[in-house]
């Protein structure tokens, strides 16, 4: 996959962006691909328009496109990926919101690139346990949400941690690693379908027919990040426009989006029911 990067920011010079792209390409080739068997190359493209065009991206020269953008077309969304009406995978990295959360924009770019690579059409789910109830739900196939607050450096550039394939298995495998960094928190590392401090997860609940997001209520960093994700979720998963502020979202227990019309499944995919 070739992912075209288009720089629509005033705050990031192309030379600086090239340095981050080089580091993320190394991350994909040396860290991500050996575990997932998926590969892509990020490539900085030219810019022939003053703002992104999601329907007819004029500068796309590849398989997908990621826009670097100071503004936000979804309020309070740190960054997100989706597909446009023509079926072209695309995404945004909103630099101002990354700054407001104290996250380097290169981490957001890494996060979105890995998730665009793993689920380009935003239509994959994996059966797994409900985070607080004894029943099965369908988790989003997201690579970095559960470890959102964890980063590492490649050539001095901060990039995002990501989960490994065994993360999406119902039971812990002896000696398994569920995320790339494998950091311990309270003498334990990330469990299958779990959340590390500062992280969150999203899932489709067949009982309610809605997409939901979840983070630990006593984790203020996770709740702040979840607030941005929840607004983003309404567009990514249900293709609806959300209009809400972080303060408004933090005052709610959860945000949901009707998903019956937007949930797409591969007919050949089999989901394992967890008892």
- Starting at the edge strand that comes first in sequence, how are the strands of the sheet with 210-214 ordered? 125-129, 136-140, 201-205, 210-214, 257-258
Instruction: Determine contact, residues 222/215, Cβ cutoff 8 Å.
Output: yes
| Element holding 8 (H helix, E strand) | strand 2-8
- Give the least confident one: 72-76, 118-122, 186-190, 251-255: 251-255
Is the pLDDT assigned to residue 158 strictly greater than 70?
yes
Q: What is the arithmetic mean of pLDDT over 56-78? A: 64
More confident residue, 52 or 181: 181
d(CA 42, CA 5): 7
d(CA 88, CA 124): 16
Q: What is the pTM of this model?
A: 0.75
pLDDT on residue 111:
92
In the chain, % of residues over pLDDT 90? 38
Residues 200-245 have pLDDT tens digits of 888 999 999 988 888 776 666 666 666 655 544 433 443 322 223 3
d(CA 221, CA 199): 8
Instruction: Determine contact, residues 81/112, Cβ cutoff 8 Å.
Output: yes
């Amino acid at each position: 996959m070739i992912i075209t990067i288009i720089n629509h920011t005033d705050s990031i010079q192309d030379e600086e962006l090239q340095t981050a792209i080089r580091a993320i390409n190394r991350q994909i080739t040396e860290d991500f691909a050996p575990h997932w068997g998926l590969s892509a190359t990020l490539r900085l493209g030219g810019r022939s328009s003053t703002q992104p065009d999601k329907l007819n991206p004029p500068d796309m020269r590849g398989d997908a496109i990621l826009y670097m953008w100071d503004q936000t077309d979804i309020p309070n969304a740190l960054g997100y990926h989706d597909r446009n009406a023509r079926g072209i995978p695309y995404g945004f990295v909103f630099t101002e919101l990354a700054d407001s959360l104290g996250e380097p924009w290169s981490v957001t770019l890494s996060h979105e690139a890995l998730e665009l690579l793993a689920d380009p059409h935003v239509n994959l789910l994996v059966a797994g346990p409900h985070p607080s109830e004894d029943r099965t739900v369908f988790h989003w196939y997201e690579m970095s949400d559960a470890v959102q607050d964890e980063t590492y450096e490649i050539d001095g550039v901060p990039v995002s941690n990501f989960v490994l394939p065994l993360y999406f298995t119902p039971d812990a495998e002896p000696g398994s690693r569920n995320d790339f960094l494998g950091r311990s928190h309270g003498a334990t590392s990330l469990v299958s379908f779990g959340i590390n401090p500062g992280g969150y997860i999203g899932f489709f609940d067949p009982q309610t027919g809605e997409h939901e997001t979840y983070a630990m209520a006593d984790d203020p960093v996770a709740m702040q990040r979840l607030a941005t994700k929840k607004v983003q979720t309404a567009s990514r998963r249900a293709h609806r426009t959300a209009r809400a502020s972080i303060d408004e979202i933090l005052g709610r227990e959860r945000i949901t989006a009707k998903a019956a019309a937007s949930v797409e499944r591969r007919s050949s995919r089999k989901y394992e029911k967890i008892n």
